[in-house]
Amino acid sequence: MTLNPTNRPATPVIELRGVSKMFRTADHVDRAVLEGVDLTLREGEIVAMLGKSGSGKSTLLRIMAGLVGAEHGEVRFRGSRLTGTAEGIAMVFQSFALFPWLTVQQNVELGLEAQGVARAERTRRAEAAIDMIGLSGFNSALPRELSGGMRQRVGIARALVTEPDLLLMDEAFSALDVLTGETLRDEMLDLWESGRANIKSILIVSHNIEEAVMMADRIVILASDPGRIRAEVPVPFARPRNRDDAQVRALIDEVYTLMTSAAGLEPRVPVMTASQQIGYRLPDADISQMEAILDLLHESPFFGRADLPHLANEAGLTDDELLPACEALHLLGLANIERGDIIATPLGRTYYDTEPPERKVLFGKQLLTNVALAGHIRRELEASPDGEVGEEAVLRELEAHLEPDEAKRVLTIAIGWGRYGEVYSYAFHGGMLTLPQPEASEADG
Ligand code: ADP
Ligand code: MG
């Protein structure tokens, strides 16, 4: 934490006031992706932004970078209204976004070329940035000759070379293996603490709760649909931090709690009503991971209850696997989330006591009663004279509620779950949904 003896708030680097962003769906319906976002980043702070996939984090970052405009609200960078990309703001992408045909040096110089910096100075500054991020000697390498971690170093060097006041990092470590990601993240923190990179503020978008707690001075949590800031948590620990420190663990726990309540997973929050709409964004949850969680709950010394960070560890799941799986279990009425703990419902307990064939029946029954899209597909099939419905028809209906890619994602999940629960079958060839074949179903009647 930056000490601030005068008690005066540090100078804002970027300020967002009432920022809203709409996107138009295929049916020309406007959908709010972000609504009324207020956020200020001040000199000397690292802020982490957490939120589930689709909550609008990348969109917000693109707005802050001036890459896209917002319909409502205002973005001020160093006191002036931001109207497009600006010198002084740089971004690092999850996908690295390097030009494959350019060398490391050329990729890094690109940022300066755009600013019209003269050639000799470009060369000198790019070399310094490459050196700072530990890539000296690789200046003439092509991206394909580098490992993922080194490619992301190039992405970071390209941002640092412009000596930005504001550095925006969009899941910059997520595409890397855990160890490489952690190394790079620690090196970023060293650079920040040393002041060598001369950055005033960093915004890190992440879906990794521990990463946010280890890096940030403050964490903001985005809720979905529409994306808005749900909670802000200060992280009052000096860096470097020890992840095993009791206070750090406690804060990680608290953030898990906030994340799950921001996702509407707490009981009494009307998530069930939401899932009664066919356009509900089903979470990307793997059924075997959901079942693994139920099994671990079964073995839990606390009778079907476990603390989420602990469970993530036990099950070897990352946050972006664990949270969707928990949301799915909740949707299906198999578990509830309370204050960062997951608790099997009575039905969830029955689930892990049953054998695989009965599990499927139970799964299918819960799916039909709790997930509107699955129930809808089943009814359409029953109403159809030949017991068939093309997936294209369902997609078109979904596109009245969701963007095309999102509609496809949600339908794929509903198909996977429905096949598992034997609520319907699906022929990949031809994309046809059908009623389950009698011999495949032991659940007649
Ligand atoms: P996150 O980074 O939190 O996963 P995004 O900002 O990428 O979320 O996306 C938020 C929502 O906005 C998603 O539903 C996404 O499909 C939608 N979206 C993003 N960009 C566009 C676009 N150009 N057109 C239509 N919808 C978009
Ligand atoms: Mg994103």
Q: What is the whole-number distance in angstroms between the Cα of residue 90 and the centre of ligand 2?
A: 16
pLDDT at 88: 95
Beta-bridge partners for 166: 89, 201
SS3 state at 216: coil
Beta-bridge partners for 23: 31
Residue with tokens 């992706």: 33
Ligand 1 pocket, residue 94 CB under 6 Å: no
Ligand 1 pocket, residue 201 CB under 6 Å: no
Ligand nearest to the CA of 49: 1
pLDDT at 271: 44
pTM of the model: 0.73
77 and 202 Cβ atoms separated by less than 8 Å: no
pLDDT at 273: 47
Alpha-carbon separation of residue 338 from 88, 263, 305, 329 (angstroms): 42, 12, 10, 13
pLDDT at 175: 86
Q: Which of 53, 58, 61, 63 to mutate to test the pocket of ligand 1 (most atoms within 8 A of CB)?
A: 58
Atom number, ligand 1, closest to the C-alpha of residue 55: 3
Q: What is the whole-number distance in angstroms between the Cα of residue 295 and the centre of ligand 1?
A: 34
Tokens encoding 268: 């009494």
Ligand 1 pocket, residue 224 CB under 6 Å: no
pLDDT at 275: 54
Q: What is the pLDDT of residues 334-389, one digit of tens each?
A: 998 887 788 999 889 888 788 888 889 999 999 999 999 999 999 999 999 998 99
Rounded CA-CA distance 183/177 in Å is: 10
pLDDT at 214: 94
The count of C-alpha atoms lying within 13 angstroms of the C-alpha of 123, restricted to the half-sphere facing its C-beta, is 3
Rounded CA-CA distance 361/371 in Å is: 15
Tokens encoding 423: 């609520």
- The parts of the chain modelled with pLDDT lower than 70 are 1-7, 26, 262-276, 301-302, 438-445
Q: Within its chain, how far is the Cα of 429 from the centroid? A: 32
Ligand nearest to the CA of 284: 1
Ligand 1 pocket, residue 23 CB under 6 Å: yes
Residue 354: how many CB atoms within 10 A of its CB? 13
Q: Which of 24, 29, 91, 403 to mutate to test the pocket of ligand 1 (most atoms within 8 A of CB)?
A: 403
Does residue 304 come out as left (phi exceeding 0), alpha (psi in the -120 to 50 range) or beta? left
Tokens encoding 385: 């004279």
